[in-house]
Amino acid sequence: MKPTPVRRIVWVIAIVVALGLLMAALAQAQPAQSLPVASDPAPVPVKVTDDRGRVVTLPRPPRRVVSLLPSLTETVCALDQCHRLVGVDRHSNWPQAVLHLPQLGGGLDPNIEAIVALQPDVVLLATSSRATARLESLGVAVVALEPKSHADVQRVMGTIGEVLAVPDAQRVWRHVDAAVEAAAQSVPVAARGVRVYFEVNRGPYGAGASSFIGETLTRLGARNILPASLGPFPRLNPEFVVRADPDLIMLGEGSMGSLHERPGWSSLRAVREQRLCVFAPHEADVLVRAGPRMAEGARIMARCLASKATPAANTAAAVRP
């Protein structure tokens, strides 16, 4: 049976529509095939000078970072880059995000095999670390940094910012500096001029006037019994402190146990009159790390000065050279 004119028209329309759809599909597919494939932008190399004076060049900002110094670990995290850390030293315990990371020993006994196994793009460590030469001999990039003063902390924050390609890393230092100044404003007038001995650990090692701790004490209005000429963290003969007879002693719980066993220390006025600030381990961690928590450390020392300084101590400080 021959198709009716109506059927013939429907068939023609159907064929035309099908051809139109096919041509549209081909028109859409053709440009896609002719477009060039986009390529990733070329990585931008990173070049920094570390505290050894060595120029360290990385092919790109590191994605896998190992930190072997707590203050450097804390700085990486303060720059919002904790996610790049793949391993830390055993003493790195802040912020909480680093607690689940592999612990790789300490500065004096680093686990080289475990570090290399993590395939880090860079290792951040202290200039005094024993890991540097061995890691470099194995082809691992190392940036050695050693913050000891306020200026060092500011510079190190900038260097780590450069390594990680973080813009305006100095914003962290500006916050720290402003908070230290605020802590200084909170110290009462009666506490200013008080002579302080700050013990870093039971060596005894003290915090000298040129250390970041000593500089913070100065900003808080205290007087450090350890002059800058002794260096940032000198090991002391215990008799030095006896002769200096400080008005106030700051130390950690770990040092407190041996305090009365030291010759002559029981006769110190600060000991007799209990002008001692004994810091819990978590406070001591904050105080002895030259990093982004220095502001918190300043507040801890300011509270100590406010609570332990007395008019008698201030008077004694005024008549001493």
Between CA 160 and CA 264 the distance in angstroms is 45
Residue 280's pLDDT band, with cuts at 50, 70 and 90, is very high
pTM assigned to the model = 0.84
Residue 15 has what pLDDT?
55
pLDDT one-digit tens code per residue, 8-41: 554 545 554 555 554 555 455 544 444 455 555 7
Residue 310 has what pLDDT?
57
Residue 24 has what pLDDT?
54
Rounded-to-5 percentages of helix, strand, coil across the chain? 50, 15, 40
- The 3-state secondary structure of 267-315 reads HCHHHHCCCEEEECHHHHHHHCCCCCCHHHHHHHHHHHHHHHCCHHHHH
Residue 8 has what pLDDT?
56
Residue with the larger pLDDT of the pair 183 and 203: 183
Residue 258 has what pLDDT?
81
What are phi and psi for residue 138, nearest 5 degrees? -95, 5
What's the token pair of residue 6? 């109506």
Average pLDDT in the 101-105 region?
97
pLDDT above 50 (res 145): yes
Residue 267 has what pLDDT?
93
Spatial CA neighbour of 47 closest among 133, 126, 163, 136:
163
Between CA 78 and CA 295 the distance in angstroms is 13
Average pLDDT in the 277-303 region?
97
Spatial CA neighbour of 89 closest among 285, 221, 220:
285
pLDDT above 60 (res 318): no
Mean pLDDT of the chain: 89
pLDDT above 90 (res 235): yes
Average pLDDT in the 174-182 region?
98
Neighbours of 256 (CB within 10 A): 15
Helix (H) or strand (E) holding 249, with range, is strand 248-252
What's the token pair of residue 52? 């050894």
| Residue 238, strand partner residues | none
Spatial CA neighbour of 319 closest among 229, 194, 187, 191:
194
In the chain, the N- to C-terminal Cα span, in Å, equals: 126
pLDDT above 80 (res 2): no
3-class state of residue 142 by DSSP? strand
| Residue 103, strand partner residues | 88
Q: Which residue has the tokens 């510079």?
A: 155
Residue 42's pLDDT band, with cuts at 50, 70 and 90, is confident
